[in-house]
Amino acid sequence: MTFAAEGGQPIARWKLGEMYADGVGVARDDAKAYHYFNQLVEEYDEEAPDQRIRGAISNAFVAVGVYSLTGIPNSDVPADPERARELFQYAATTFGDPDAQYNLAHMYIVGAGGLSKDNITAARWLMLAAGKGHRPSQVLLGHMLFAGAEGVSMQRGRGLMWLQIAKNGAEGPREDWVRQIYERDFAAANDDDRKVAAAMLDQRAKGPPLPSFVSRSVVKTMQMSRPFNIRMMAASPPTQPAE
């Protein structure tokens, strides 16, 4: 596979990047993972995109963006939040990538990568990702709506609905943090909040079910940079919201 990757085969590069990022079949090496993902980013031809590898290319943009947020210690990959923002913006708009939309929303929330804090724009990106079944976006959007935040009106019932959707999709102990945030906000809700949430959930149940997933790129983002750690939201309501 290394031979194929060095020969320029995109899927081989993407698979090697994933292997080194996760430490599957090889020793984990973020610098090597970055190398292969970045090759895909740098050589992507937007004038003649190959739709067959669209998912791999989108994933590579997000992965390089995540590494660029904080840099890679003991490597030649420096922290470059502005590049991270550019990559997330591109993947969010060009590919509609929910991981990119989630990460871009966080950058608007904290005002990173040259962006001014903008909770309304953050909420819009989170809404797009949440509608695609992106669990971290559902949790953050739900908590922001439930708690309220500057620039975004408090919608406790709707927020509780998104938290319930995320909780219903949570899988295994690894996603206990999803349940914890839901349980915390559910306990703080009143009867009216819960009735509104139940009615909204009932209405959604009449339509097609939402997909549900959380990718490595988002988990990696949460692990690498404290301002981007969604689990911190459980300790203190964010001063920035969603819509």
Residues 147 and 72 in one domain: no
User: Is residue 120 one of the residues assigned to a domain?
Assistant: no
DSSP state of 239: S
Residue 1: band (very low, low, confident or very high) from pLDDT cuts 50, 70, 90: low
Q: Domain check: are 186 and 241 in the same one?
A: yes
Domain of residue 30 covers 1-96
The tokens for 232 are 């911190």
Based on the fold, state whether residues 140 and 199 are members of the same structural domain.
yes
* Residues 58 and 149 grouped into a single domain: no
Q: Which letter does DSSP use for residue 230 in this model? A: G
Mean pLDDT (the chain, rounded): 85
pLDDT band at 214 (very low <50, low <70, confident <90, very high): low
Domain assignment present for 122: no
Of 51, 78, 96, which marks where a domain is finished?
96
Q: Which residue in 154, 54, 128 sits closest to 95, CA to CA?
A: 54
Examine residue 225 and state whether it is found in any structural domain, yes or no: yes
Q: What is the DSSP letter of 93?
A: I
Nearest to 145 by CA among 167, 170, 172, 123: 123
Number of domains in the chain: 2
DSSP 11-71: HHHHHHHHHHHHTSSS---HHHHHHHHHHHHHT--TTS--GGGHHHHHHHHHHHHHHHHH-
Tokens of 10: 């995109």
| Predicted local confidence at residue 6, as pLDDT | 59
Residue 114 lies in a domain: no
pLDDT at residue 220 is higher than 60: no
Of 41-55, 67-81, 119-133, 190-204, least confident by mean pLDDT is 41-55
Please report, for the chain, how many H helices and E strands are present, in that order. 12, 0
Mean pLDDT of 201-213: 74
* Residue 170 phi, psi dihedral angles, 5° rounding: -60, 140
Is the domain of 87 the same as that of 175? no
The alpha carbons of the chain give a radius of gyration, in whole angstroms, of 19
Say yes or no: 137 and 242 in one domain: yes
Say what the pLDDT of residue 235 is. Answer: 30
54 lies in the same domain as 146: no
Indicate whether 184 and 242 sit together in one domain.
Answer: yes
Q: What is the mean pLDDT of residues 121-148?
A: 95
Average pLDDT over residues 183-189: 97
Cβ atoms of residues 110 and 91 within 8 Å? no
In a domain, 128, yes or no: no
Which of 88, 153, 82 lies closest to 123 in space, CA to CA?
153
Question: In the predicted model, is pLDDT for residue 82 greater than 60?
Answer: yes
Domain end (from 44, 74, 96)? 96
| pLDDT higher than threshold 50 for residue 52 | yes
Neighbours of 48 (CB within 10 A): 6
> 182 and 232: one domain?
yes
Q: pLDDT tier at 60 (50, 70, 90 boundaries)? A: very high
3-state secondary structure of 138: helix
Residues 164 and 227 reside in one and the same domain: yes
What pLDDT, on a 0 to 100 scale, did the predictor assign at position 87?
98
**Which pLDDT value is given to residue 209?**
62
Q: Are residues 173 and 228 in the same domain?
A: yes
Co-location of 88 and 140 in the same domain: no
